[in-house]
Structure formats: C-alpha cells, structure tokens
Homo-oligomer: A and B are copies of this chain.
Amino acid sequence: MAVTIRDVARASGVHVSTVSRSFSAPHLVNPETRTRVLAVAEDLGYRPNRAARALTTGRTHNLGLIVADIANPFFPPLIKAAQAQARLRDYHVFVADTDEDPKAEEDLIQTLTKQVDGVLLCSPRLTNRTIERLREEIPFVLVNRRVKGMPTVLMDVGRGARLAVEHLTGLGHRRLAVVTGPSGSWTSKEMQEAAAAMNEVDVVFLGPNPPTELGGLAAAADVVASGATGVLAYNDLVAIGLVEGLAERGVEVPRDVSVIGVDDIVAGRLGRPKLTTIAMPTAAAGRIAVDMLLQSVDAEAATGVTMLETTLIVRESTGEART
C-alpha cells in the first residue's frame, strides 16, 4: 500500500540502510547518493513511518498535553504555544481533556505512556503521591502545580493575589472574600495562602467551586451573605459568573462590590464591566514547559522550577468602597 523505505532503496539502487541514513544521518552518506535517494523518495511520495522509527529509537517524537478542561479559556493559549514550540522541535502534541476527573487523568497518562516521550501536566488534580509514582513511567513537566523534585512551570499567583488585595484595600475595602477553585488546585491554595498572610484585612474564603461561570454564579449568594465588598475570584470565568449572579441579586459591580479575576481571558476584556484581573503569562508557560520537557526527555533527569511573573490589570470591575 504505502511506499516504504525498501521501495525507495530498490528504486534508487542502494541498500535500505543508505536510504535510512539519507534521512536520519545525512553526514554518513555521500552527498551525491543522498541527493539521488531524496529525489527518488520525493518522487515516490515516501514519508517515513514514525511508528516504525519509534520502535527502534524509543522516541515517538510526540508529547502529551493533559488539561483539566479544554473548554476553560485559560488553556487554549497555553496549548497553542506548546504546540507551536513543539513543532519547532519536530515534535507533535496530543492534547487530552480529563474533565476535571483525577481518575480519568491517571488512565490517560497510563495509555499515553507508550505513545509519547513526555507529558505536560497542566493544573493536574492528582495527588502528589500519584504524580510521583507516575513519574517513574514517563518524563513529566508540571504546570501550575508544585511537587518536590519535579520540573515545574509556575505562574506567580501568590504575588498576583497580594497585588489584588493591595489594590482592593487601596480602594478602601476592608472586608474581602476569596472565591476559591477546585480542591486539588495548587493555584487556589496559593491564592488563599497569600491572601491569608496579608495583614489588616478581613478575608473570608468561599469554596471550593467548579472553575467555571456556573461556579461563580452559584457563589454569588455566599458572597452577598459574607458581607464582603471586595472579591478575588479563582479565575475570570468564575468572576464573570459572579458578576452575573450578583446582578441577579441587585448587587452591582463595581458600585456595590469590586471583583477581581485571574487569567485575563478575552471574554473578560469585552463584557461589561470589563474585568480587573491578574494576567497570567500562559503562552510563555506553554513554550517553556515544552522546552523543559524535551530537555528532561533526553537529559535523563532534568529538574528545576521556573516561576513566571503575573501582573494586575485594572479595568472596570473594581472601584472605591462606599463609605
């Protein structure tokens, strides 16, 4: 059916090994021979079979990218950047979605193991123990999750949260609420710890919540009940849902309550009010994570933690506290 390396060998009158080398070790074959072989290959429409190559080299030239939820707009920029970076290195990325389910996540990793050289785990919901165990089977890079001794790319949400709290207190807010995310989320924990460590403010934590608009919508009642006038939401989706939920209860943003989100997704830049938010360098994270992963794929055991900066972007969803 398909044209193989042997067809090319026959057609160009050389041995298969020469054809193979023409592709994967050019310096070992006479330039003239190589040109001829490549021409014939081109002519026959030959394309190397990556699966076969993987068998001997042990390299599939594929990477796995596992995210909790593709539908969350936080991920696509990261995914795109990772894909682009991988292509640069002649790798392909297989994206998979776990639906926020740790069990599905583990299964996925297991099945992916033989088909990829490494896995990018974005915002995993697994336990540390499980991650450490899985690590034996295949190289990992974690994004948005800290596990001792594993290569990791983090975004400094702690600092972001501090900036957010300072911004709110600067506007005169004295009672704040943090609408937290899913329980397994490192980001959520970071936010909480940073907020809790701030002095001279009264902070209440509401959660856990699903990291979606619906989560924010549902949290609106608690926010109202809490009496907080400044809110830091787990992410922009939650913030958007929250604004909506508050509006349904006659609470207007930013007039009555100020809301800050996280991620700086496009939707937040367009609705009304435009969201004040903590911008995350997701594209950079994707690129860097891929490079770290490739490094640890062939360097046996690379490790290291990269921390990326976050920034506070002030828009319309925060305002002075009413006195």
Q: Closest chain B residue to A212 by CB distance?
A: B266
Q: Does A225 contact B (CB under 8 A)?
A: no
* Nearest chain B residue, comparing its CB with the CB of A95: B95
Q: What is the distance, in angstroms, from A304's C-beta to the closest C-beta of chain B?
A: 24
Distance of A46 from chain B, by nearest CB (Å): 11
Q: Does A213 contact B (CB under 8 A)?
A: yes
With a cutoff of 8 Å between Cβ atoms, the chain B residues found around residue A83 in the complex are 96-97
CB-defined contacts of A77 to chain B, threshold 8 Å: 71
**Do residues B50 and A114 form an inter-chain contact, with CB atoms below 8 A?**
yes
Question: A131 at interface (Cβ–Cβ under 8 A)?
Answer: no
A135 to B183, CA, bound (A): 46
A217–B112 alpha-carbon span in the complex (Å): 41
CB-CB contacts of A41-62 with B at 8 A, as 1s and 0s?
A: 0000001111110110000101
Determine if A272 is an interface residue (Cβ-Cβ < 8 Å).
yes
**Does residue A307 face the partner (Cβ distance < 8 Å to B)?**
no
Which of A52, A71, A75 has its CB near the most chain B CB atoms (within 10 A)? A71
- Contact check, A47 vs B113: say whether CB atoms are below 8 A apart: yes
A210 at the interface (CB under 8 A from B): no
Task: Tell me the minimal C-beta distance from A103 to chain B in angstroms.
Answer: 13
Chain B residue, CB-CB nearest to A94? B94
Name the B residues within 8 Å of A241 (CB-CB): 270
CA distance A205 to B108 in the complex (A): 46
A62-B115, A71-B80 known; 18 new pairs, CB 8 Å cut-off, are A49-B114, A50-B114, A51-B54, A51-B60, A70-B76, A70-B79, A71-B77, A80-B97, A80-B99, A83-B96, A83-B97, A92-B94, A95-B95, A212-B266, A240-B270, A241-B270, A244-B270, A267-B267
